[in-house]
Amino acid sequence: MPARRCVIFAGGELSELYLRELDKEDYIIGADRGALFLISHGIIPDIAVGDFDSITPEEFKLIEEQCPKVIACDPVDKDLTDSELALDLAIETQPEDILLFGVTGTRIDHTLAGIQMMARALQRQIRCSVMDLNNYITITGSQALVQERGYTYVSLVPVTPEVTGITLQGFQYPLTEATLKLGQSLGISNRLTSPTGTVTIQSGLLLIIQSKD
C-alpha cells in the first residue's frame, strides 16, 4: 500500500523543530547527512541514500547498521544530487504528499535546484512542499489551498516564463485572471485574510512561498 506521505531529510540546514512535523505513518528518507541527522535524534529512516561524502566513514558505518536499506553511490560518477536521488525514491512509493527538509541553506545552487525539482513530483500528480524555519514552499499548475501556518507573507513566483489566469481568494490583495511573468514582483508579500486561501491558475507553474523574517 503506498505511503500517504513521504518525508525527505536532505543534507542542508536542519533543525530539531522539523521532527515535530513527523507522523508515525510517514515513509522517511534520509539523504546523505540527513540520514545521520535522523539517526542521531532517534529516528530510523526507511531508506538512506546518497554519496555520503559529507560524513566520516564511522558515521556511514552507523547509518549502515541502523537503516534497513542503504543506497550508496559514487560521489563523482553520478548525475543527480542526493536530494534528487531521494525525490526519485519518494516518487516511486506513489505517496499523496512529499515533504522536504534540508534542501535550503547557504548553497543557492542547491536551494534553487531543491525548490525547482518539486515540479517533477507535480508531473506525477503528487503534492510536494519544501519547508525550513522561515519558509513553506509549494508549487501548483492548477489550484492550491494555502493554509495559515504561522507565516507572515504569501508570495507568488512564476517558475515558467508566464503564468496566466491567476485568481486569489482569501488574500489581502486579490487578483482576478492576472498574469505574472518571470522576473516580475507583483506577487510578492501578500497576506492571508482567512485561515485558508485559494490560488487558481490557468497555465504555467507557480511557486507559492509562505515566509517570515
pLDDT in tens, 72-96: 987 655 667 889 999 999 999 999 9
In this structure, which CATH number among 3.90.1720.10, 3.30.70.360, 3.60.21.10, 3.40.50.10240 belongs to the domain 5-133? 3.40.50.10240
pLDDT per position as a tens digit, 104-127: 988 899 899 889 999 999 999 999
What is the C-alpha separation between 136 and 185, in angstroms, rounded? 19
For residue 1, pLDDT beyond 60: no
User: Where does the chain have alpha helices with state H?
Assistant: 33-40, 57-66, 82-92, 108-116, 118-123
Residues of the chain with CATH 3.40.50.10240: 5-133
DSSP letter assigned to residue 166: E
For residue 211, pLDDT beyond 80: yes
What is the C-alpha separation between 68 and 44, in angstroms, rounded? 8
Residues of the chain with CATH 2.60.120.320: 143-211
What is the C-alpha separation between 172 and 194, in angstroms, rounded? 9
- Residue 102 C-alpha cell reads as 534540508
What are φ and ψ of residue 174, in 5° steps? -75, 155
Residues 6+ apart with CB under 8 A from 160: 182, 204, 205
Neighbour-count burial of 201, counting CB atoms closer than 10 A to its CB (0-12 exposed, 13-18 middle, 19+ buried): buried
- Compute the average pLDDT of residues 57-70: 95
143-211 belongs to which CATH class? mainly beta
What pLDDT score does 110 carry? 84
- In 8-39, which positions are buried (b, 16+ CB within 10 angstroms) versus exposed (e)? bbbbbbbeeebeeebeeebbbbbbbbbbbbbb
What pLDDT score does 78 carry? 62
DSSP string, 31-49: ETHHHHHHHHTT---SEEE
What pLDDT score does 79 carry? 67
What pLDDT score does 76 carry? 55
What pLDDT score does 41 carry? 97
What pLDDT score does 107 carry? 87
- Compute the average pLDDT of residues 158-166: 97
Distances (CA, A) of 43 to 21, 28, 174, 190: 13, 9, 42, 37
Residue % of the chain over a pLDDT of 70: 97
What is the C-alpha separation between 148 and 193, in angstroms, rounded? 9
